[in-house]
Chains A and B, each alone.
Chain A
């Protein structure tokens, strides 16, 4: 994808997060470009997952977590006065987790769950269409179309993860957050998810946290390197992996760190 300037989908300014007395994020400023894949990398405890969770207010559920600064989605604030309703926010900003976590329901019901509770569909036919569409976009339709009534937990790990992606996109989000979506998958399932990320980037804005530097290099357009709660460097992925500007970034990605 070219380096042309794209519109900003989400913006973070001076974002700080405290877990009790501990400061987990020390003032993050970052633009998340629309229809691009942004990778967040950094060592464990650097704040990348904390930052990801700020983007759809997942930190609200953590006792003692306090978020300050501003985050916007299409210029609408996520926190503070006039904030987007969190339920609506999580429909617009979906999330896929590290371990596939399908509901203990059928494949169909997993995908239909979101559209049903958000009241997105008037009838069974349009729900069927929505489920088929989400499963197709997640690259799973061909594998499961004849057994939509089977339990989702019977799918392989890779299929379960793609089902979770289908479940996330069924509610037509604008942004998809992925927290190490492939760390529990084998290389083939990983490749399928990465191919899917490529395709999804055409319609969605994607933010992915990954411990695999090579995965960040393969799937993202923009890479942001976090360290000890600070954003050290952000730039086009190609530049970060060929000529990073910061010594810390270079030390981390080349393995001269610690």
Chain B
């Protein structure tokens, strides 16, 4: 009697899917590390470290390119269905999110070089808090993806509101700071973009959570995700 096995009858299909999986897992590690080091560069005001982060961005771009090519090849040659199809589609989308995460981290590293030329700014402490939260979410969502844990993916998605709330609060803090001392406007403007970058990384982590959930369950999370970012309307007269 035939049984359902772990492996495809065609072994090379398994190998191609594994290479895709390995690339995503490697990109996840790289994105996590880029985010971690960029935040460390901000905290320690380390120009050298910031420069290393900027220089390391090429590796993750190369992996994303590989995932794109591998995806097209798998779709064209294997016509994947069911969980194989979901794996291929999720890989393509998750790779794009991870590449963007690394871009935002590299952009923050560049801006660190500017911050380091002026006196330390108080709102940086809030930025670091935001960074720690987003790092935690990224680690958690990558674990959810790798361990096929749908509940964990949902948990990450629910926590994006915390990032948004922190971002709104930081936005107001930076505005106040600039109003008090216009000489900080240049550095604070950079800080604002850095906060936005981290907020975007949180959004990408949420995207990965949604794709992981789709990959694991076959259900897409169509309903509007919870939003806690009010900075878009900050200063808007009632």
Contacts and interface: CB of A to CB of B under 8 A. Distances in A.
A252 B2 CA distance: 10
B183 interface: no
A254 B83 contact: yes
B42 to A, nearest CB: 42
A257 B2 contact: yes
Nearest to A228: B1
A151 interface: no
B79 A258 contact: no
A197 B214 CA distance: 32
Interface string A216-258: 0100000000001000000000000111100111111111111
Interface residues of B, number: 22
A254 B86 CA distance: 12
Given A242-B86, A243-B218, A243-B219, A256 B81 contact: no
B182 interface: no
Q: Is the interface of B mostly helix, strand, loop or mixed?
A: loop
B81 A257 contact: no
A2 interface: no
A213 interface: yes
Interface string B99-125: 000000000000000000000000000
Interface in B1-44: 1-10, 13
A213 B10 CA distance: 16
B82 interface: yes
A214 interface: yes
Nearest to B80: A254
Contact of B81 (A228, A247, A248, A254): A254
Contact of A254 (B8, B218, B219): B8
Nearest to B13: A255
Contacts of A255: 8-10, 13
Contact of B5 (A228, A241, A258): A258
B52 interface: no
B21 to A, nearest CB: 15
Chain A interface size, as a band, is 20 to 34
A24 to B, nearest CB: 16
Contacts of A173: none
B84 interface: yes
A217 B81 contact: yes
Label chain A's interface by main secondary structure. helix
Point out which of A217, A244, A256, A258 has the most chain B C-beta atoms below 10 A from its C-beta: A256
A215 to B, nearest CB: 11
A169 B14 CA distance: 44
A43 interface: yes
A191 to B, nearest CB: 16
Interface in B198-224: 217-219
A251 B7 CA distance: 9
B85 interface: yes
Contacts of B79: 214
A40 to B, nearest CB: 17
Interface in A196-220: 213-214, 217
B5 A242 contact: no
Contact of B82 (A43, A228, A241): A241
Interface string A103-147: 000000000000000000000000000000000000000000000
Nearest to A250: B82
B9 A253 contact: no
Given A213-B81, A243-B219, A43 B2 contact: yes
Contacts of B5: 251, 256-258
- Give the residue among B10, B82, B83 with the most A Cβ atoms within 10 A: B82
11 contacts: A213-B81, A242-B81, A242-B86, A243-B219, A251-B3, A256-B5, A256-B9, A257-B2, A257-B4, A257-B9, A258-B2
Interface of B: 1-10, 13, 79-86, 217-219
Given A214-B79, A252-B4, A257-B9, 14 more contacts: A243-B86, A243-B219, A244-B82, A247-B4, A250-B83, A251-B4, A253-B81, A253-B82, A254-B81, A254-B82, A255-B10, A256-B4, A257-B5, A258-B5
